[in-house]
Chain A
Amino acid sequence: MGCLEMTTIVDKGELKSRNSMIATYLVIGGAVIAVMMIFGVLMLLAQGGVLDLSPAAFYQFLTIHGTGMIGAAALAAVGLMWYFLRDYVELSKKVFTWNLILFLIALVMIIVGVFSFEYASAWTFLYPLPALSAGAWGIIGALLYLGGMLVLGTGFLLLYIDTGRAIIRKYGSLGKGLGWDVISGKKDVKDAPPATVIASTMVTIVNTTAIVAGAVVLIMNVINVINPAFTFDPLLAKNLTYAFGHIFANAIIYMGVIVVYEILPRYTNRKWAVNKSFLIAWTMSTAFTLVIYTHHMLMDSVMPKWMLIMGQALSYANGIPVLVVTAYGALMIVYKSGIKWDMASGLAFLSMFGWSVGVVPAIVDATIVVNHVMHNTKWVPGHFHMYMGLGAVVMLFAFMYYLAKVDSNLKPNGLDKLAFVCYTLAMISISAQFLVSGAISTPRRWATHFPEWMGPALFGAIAGVFLVIATSIFITHFIRYIIVRNKTGSDFYERKLA
């Protein structure tokens, strides 16, 4: 009896510390996202003509908003992936902790670079803008920002090396992690890796590639900032930048979707079948995510034409795994399931809607003839606010509510439900105002707007206020969970849901 008690205490202690690191990831990620939303609202207010922001302040906000959103959402998504993946493979907690430490160092460097040294290259830092700011910022600001991005990338790279190592150790290779031996018929489909492992393998492959590409272009920029006489090819730099940015941003959703795969089956008591089409879909996503970044360069006619045509065709093709397999799977599993809707399941389902619906304007924009008159208009933030704001980030919130539910006795209240409705409507409104702005040719990333462009921006700013309120309610619930949990421990771990 005494021995059993000991075991329970040890397990509880271990679980508590493991989940508290995950909770730290989520709470930092969530809080940064909320603050970044405030910068978003301020920018829309300035574009709407009701807030007088200096161009320097506006473009600093723009830089921090993009960088912070992508960085924080990626951090929280890693926490989510790690939580589920550790059930299948043995991950290094040390590496997990180091990623967070490096993230925090990077965060400080980037904030100081942007706000103390007025660095404002936008998060795309297109060469040679970091070095040629027309006097707006100096070497120190640029080095802090670029260096911060490098530190951030290093943390993530270490983490993906660890997930890759763990997957290879358990399954034999990354190919087997994607189920290639099942696709080729060497292994029975019932022995296929679980969805979480497949998604994690995909993200490991694409993000390792992305970060290496990013590191190369960051280092080239660093050298150019220190010694402007050292130049390199701007088109190569642009390719590397978008290879990094596109993949890294997209991988957030491929990490986030793990929560959908894991929790909807538990809520519906139905199995999410990993079959051959599922495996093929994930291999397609892996390949396409790596190569379709060229749709960011459709307005560079000096690029090889075949690459641009491929950018369009494969962007279309990349919609297929989502629309035919992942979203369809979510719809099937919920259809006539008698599911008990709560915050976690509701948000998980909403995220699949956000992802699927965001695919539509994304595909439209990847069409070369459309891109010719819509590239770099607000249509672009329109589509990515949709699948990031209504898809990826919602997956993170779904996980926050799920973790609070299974790991504590904290229950969401009416306010949380109100926040759910508020968030959904606000995010749809924000996406819609961007799309409408794009349709009337409003350029993106402009500190000020002509009067005819102001209406949608102002509408978006008002919706943004509601979005910030709703997000704050989500995060408050999660912080309450952390507080409750610290008091009571982790007795409720892995409670049965259905």
Chain B
Amino acid sequence: MVQTVAWVTSLFFMIVVAAVFLIVVIKSKEKRDYEPIKKKWYKARTFYATILVIFFIVVTIYTLRELPYDQPVYGEEIKPTIVDVEALQFGWKMSETEFKVGEPIEFHVTSGDVTHGFGIYDENMNLIAQTQAMPAYTNKVYTTFDEPGTYEILCLEYCGLGHHVMIGKLEVTE
């Protein structure tokens, strides 16, 4: 799951940052001449900066390979189900709410009033996909449900006092 990867990765690097700062604090008690320190650590910085830039480039390329904006390539016989979604203070108007496992779906999401967020949650309340519901624009979400069950649509952009009651339901069957 993406969230777990994000959390573990963040935790790892945050601990690394914390460790580096802690080591420097511990070492701050000693007193040495600054010139040799500068010489040594400027050299180390060139190495560190190079590694960091390469790392960022690799991660950027890797994570940009498949973007949620791209329409999936469907097989020849397969037509995706298009669901028109209109967000309104404070509810969801959807042209269809019952789907089959494995059915490719395109949610075409807009809003009738203010900006809302269209977030699809699975049965374990994990966010699996989202887009913004904007007035005057239509954003698309491409998804295929792998598991049957009741999925929920939660509003993910603050839209007024009923923001937290803006919950819709989708039924996915085998």
In the bound assembly, the distance between CA atoms of A416 and B27 in angstroms comes to 24
Q: Are A234 and B52 closer than 8 Å at their CB atoms? A: no
Which single residue of chain B is at the shortest CB-CB distance from A376? B156
- Asked whether, in the complex, the Cβ of B130 is within 8 Å of the Cβ of A331, the reply is no
Given A126-B115, A334-B25, A360:B10 Cβ within 8 A: yes
Nearest to B18 among chain A residues (CB) is: A357
Q: Which residues of chain A from 293 to 312 have a CB within 8 Å of any chain B CB?
A: 297, 299-302, 305, 308-309, 312
Q: Is residue A452 contacting chain B, with contact meaning CB distance below 8 A?
A: yes
Within the assembled complex, what's the spacing in Å between the Cα atoms of A367 and B61?
A: 11
Task: Chain B residues near A339: list those with CB within 8 A.
Answer: 28
- Tell me whether B114 and A334 are in contact (CB under 8 A): no
Whether B14 sits at the interface, judged by CB under 8 Å, is yes
Residue B78 lies at the interface, judged by CB distance under 8 Å to chain A: no
Would A369 and B68 count as touching, CB distance under 8 A? yes
Q: Determine if A328 and B45 form an interchain contact, defined as CB atoms under 8 angstroms apart.
A: yes
Q: Which residues from A are CB-within-8-Å of B3?
A: 373-374, 438-441
Residues of chain B lying within 8 A (CB to CB) of residue A349: 21, 25
The yes or no answer to A138 lying at the interface (CB within 8 A) is no
Is A18 close to B, CB under 8 A?
A: no
Would you call A128 and B135 a contact (CB within 8 A)? yes
Given contacts A234-B115, A357-B14, A373-B127, is CB(A55)–CB(B161) below 8 Å? yes
Q: For residues 260 through 314 of chain A, which have their beta carbon under 8 Å from a beta carbon of chain B?
A: 270-271, 273, 297, 299-302, 305, 308-309, 312-313
Whether A353 contacts B164 in the complex (CB less than 8 A), given A334-B28, A369-B2, A439-B4, comes out as no
The chain A residue with its CB closest to the CB of B49 is A324
Q: A387-424: contact bitstring with B at CB < 8 Å (1 yes, 0 no)?
A: 00000000000000000000000000000000000000
Indicate whether B79 reaches chain A with its CB closer than 8 angstroms. no
State whether the Cβ of A109 lies closer than 8 Å to any Cβ in chain B. Answer: no
- A309 lies within 8 A of B64 (CB): yes
Given known pairs A134-B89, A357-B14, the reply for A446 and B53 (CB within 8 Å) is: no
In angstroms, Cα B125 to Cα A336, docked, is 49
Answer whether A336 and B30 are a contact pair too, CB < 8 Å, given A316-B56, A364-B6, A376-B119. yes
Residue from A56, A233, A364 in contact with B161 in the complex, judged by beta carbons closer than 8 Å? A56
B32-60, CB under 8 A of A: which get 1 and which 0? 10100110010001001100110010011
* Interface membership of A38, Cβ < 8 A: no
Q: Mark B1-21, 1 if CB is under 8 A from A, else 0.
A: 011101101100110011011
Contact between chains at B21 and A353 (CB < 8 Å): yes
Is there a chain B Cβ closer than 8 Å to A122's Cβ? yes
- Annotate A7-35 by CB proximity to B: 1 below 8 A, 0 otherwise: 00000000000000000000000000000
User: How many residues in A have their beta carbons less than 8 Å from beta carbons of B?
Assistant: 82
Contacts of B28 in A (CB 8 A): 334-339, 341
Check A302–B134 contact: CB distance below 8 A.
yes
Say yes or no: A364 contacts B119, CB within 8 Å.
Answer: no
| Interface pair A338/B114, CB less than 8 Å apart | no
User: At the interface, yes or no: A238 with Cβ under 8 Å from chain B?
Assistant: yes
B34→A337 contact, CB < 8 A:
yes
> Are the CB atoms of A133 and B160 closer together than 8 Å?
yes
Residues in B with CB closer than 8 Å to A271 are 34
Bound state CA distance, A319 and B2, in angstroms?
A: 22
Given A299-B117, A335-B41, A446-B164, also A368-B63 (CB < 8 A) = yes
Tell me whether chain B's interface is mostly helix, strand or loop, or mixed: mixed
Please classify how large the interface on chain B is, using the bins under 10, 10 to 19, 20 to 34, 35 or more: 35 or more
Q: Which residue of A lies closest to B48 (CB)?
A: A324
Contact A445 B163 (CB under 8 A): yes
What 0/1 pattern do residues 422 to 450 of A give for CB contact below 8 A with B? 00000000000001101111010111101
Q: Are A370 and B31 in contact (CB under 8 A)?
A: no
Which residues of chain B have C-beta atoms less than 8 A from A124's C-beta?
Answer: 158
CB of A323 within 8 A of chain B? yes
Please measure, in the bound complex, the distance between the C-alpha atom of A335 and the C-alpha atom of B29, giving whole angstroms: 8
Smallest CB separation, B134 vs chain A (Å)? 6
Most buried by B among A121, A270, A373: A373
User: Which residues from chain B contact A59 at a C-beta distance below 8 Å?
Assistant: 158, 160-161, 163
Q: Which residues of A lie under 8 Å from residue B10 when comparing CB positions?
A: 360-361, 364, 435
Chain A residues closer than 8 Å to B103, beta-carbon distance: none
Q: How far is the CB of A62 from chain B (nearest CB, A)?
A: 8
> Which chain B residue lies CB-closest to A134?
B89
A372 within 8 A of B: yes
- Whether A338 contacts B160 in the complex (CB less than 8 A), given A313-B60, A374-B127, A443-B119, comes out as no
Q: Could you name 25 residue pairs across A and B whose Cβ atoms are closer than 8 Å?
A: A59-B163, A120-B161, A121-B158, A124-B158, A129-B114, A129-B158, A129-B160, A132-B89, A132-B114, A134-B162, A238-B115, A271-B34, A273-B38, A301-B68, A302-B138, A320-B49, A323-B52, A360-B17, A361-B10, A369-B66, A372-B68, A376-B156, A439-B3, A439-B6, A441-B121
A373-B126, A374-B6 provided; 13 other pairs, C-beta below 8 A? A126-B157, A132-B114, A132-B160, A133-B160, A302-B137, A316-B60, A337-B28, A357-B14, A360-B13, A369-B67, A369-B68, A441-B3, A443-B154
- Chain B residues close to A by CB (< 8 Å): 2-4, 6-7, 9-10, 13-14, 17-18, 20-21, 24-25, 27-32, 34, 37-38, 41, 45, 48-49, 52-53, 56, 59-60, 63-64, 66-69, 89-90, 113-115, 117, 119, 121, 125-132, 134-140, 154-164
Binding site for B on A (CB under 8 A): 55-56, 59, 62, 120-122, 124, 126-129, 132-134, 136, 233-235, 238, 270-271, 273, 297, 299-302, 305, 308-309, 312-313, 316-317, 319-320, 323-324, 328, 331-332, 334-339, 341, 349, 352-353, 356-357, 360-361, 364-365, 367-370, 372-377, 379, 435-436, 438-441, 443, 445-448, 450, 452
